[in-house]
């Protein structure tokens, strides 16, 4: 930044006449600033944990996903999740058969930026509910022209507990993939909130 200001100062000095007749002359300087895109920022807090009891065949956890799109690019964005594993928190023994799915969300909070638009987003695609996260799924999206700002949403996941699973606390590993552009596939944003 210091070098930029020095360059501007030198350019102005070079346009001044040596005789001191400043009033009859004018000079202009054009400065162009490029803001490089930064990735969509994502945080999941608190950690999601499933508490499995002796007779349970399902367990659930709720966490908050916070996203921030700071680039002011109106190309849309997409946050995808994959559940790559689930381990017992005490023994670190993984569940061989894992089945985690997104089952509900509680609504978006806007922390800064654009308001949430019911059609453009950001939103949780209703087509992604009750589908396992064994493969990457779009969990939160914003269509082009929407979702410039900071948002958070509470989401609930459900774990199908395999038979003969030891009781305890199980911790999933979520792989997060983000894209600063949304490829145009349109999801229905109408989803029941629970």
73 occurs within a structural domain: yes
Per DSSP, the residues of the chain read -HHHHHHHHHHHHHHS-TT---TT--------------PPEEEEES---EEE-TT-SEEEEEEEEEEE--S---S-EEEEEEEEEEEETTT-PBPSS--EEEEEEEEEEEEEESPPBTTTBSB--GGGTT-BTTS-EEEEEE-TT---EEEEEEEEEEEEPPTTPPSEEEEEEEEEEEESS--S----------
7 occurs within a structural domain: no
Q: Work out the pLDDT band at 16, boundaries 50, 70, 90.
A: very low
Is 153's pLDDT higher than 50?
Answer: yes
How confident is the model at residue 4, as a pLDDT?
42
Is 52's pLDDT higher than 60?
Answer: yes
> Which range of residues forms the domain containing residue 116?
37-179
CATH number at residue 157: 2.60.40
pLDDT per position as a tens digit, 76-132? 888 999 999 999 999 999 987 778 999 999 989 999 999 999 889 899 998 889 999
Mean pLDDT in residue range 164-191: 76
112 occurs within a structural domain: yes
pLDDT per position as a tens digit, 61-86? 999 999 988 776 778 888 999 999 99
128 occurs within a structural domain: yes
């Amino acid at each position: 930044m210091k070098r930029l200001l020095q360059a501007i100062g030198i350019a102005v000095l070079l346009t001044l006449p040596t005789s001191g007749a400043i009033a009859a002359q004018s000079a202009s300087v054009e400065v162009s600033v490029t803001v490089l895109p930064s990735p969509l920022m994502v945080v999941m807090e608190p950690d999601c944990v499933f508490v499995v009891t002796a007779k349970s065949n399902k367990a659930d956890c709720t966490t908050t996903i916070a996203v921030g799109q700071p680039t002011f690019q109106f190309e849309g964005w997409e946050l995808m999740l994959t559940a790559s594993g689930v381990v017992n928190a005490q023994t670190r023994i993984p569940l061989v058969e894992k089945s985690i799915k997104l089952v509900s969300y509680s609504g978006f909070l806007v922390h800064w930026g654009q308001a949430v638009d019911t059609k453009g987003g950001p939103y949780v695609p209703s087509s992604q509910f009750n589908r396992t996260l064994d493969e990457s799924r779009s969990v939160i999206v914003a269509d082009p022209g929407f979702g410039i700002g900071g948002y958070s949403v509470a989401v609930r996941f459900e774990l199908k507990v395999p038979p003969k699973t030891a009781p305890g606390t199980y911790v999933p590993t979520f792989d997060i993939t983000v894209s600063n552009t949304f490829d145009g596939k349109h999801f229905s944003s109408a989803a029941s909130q629970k």
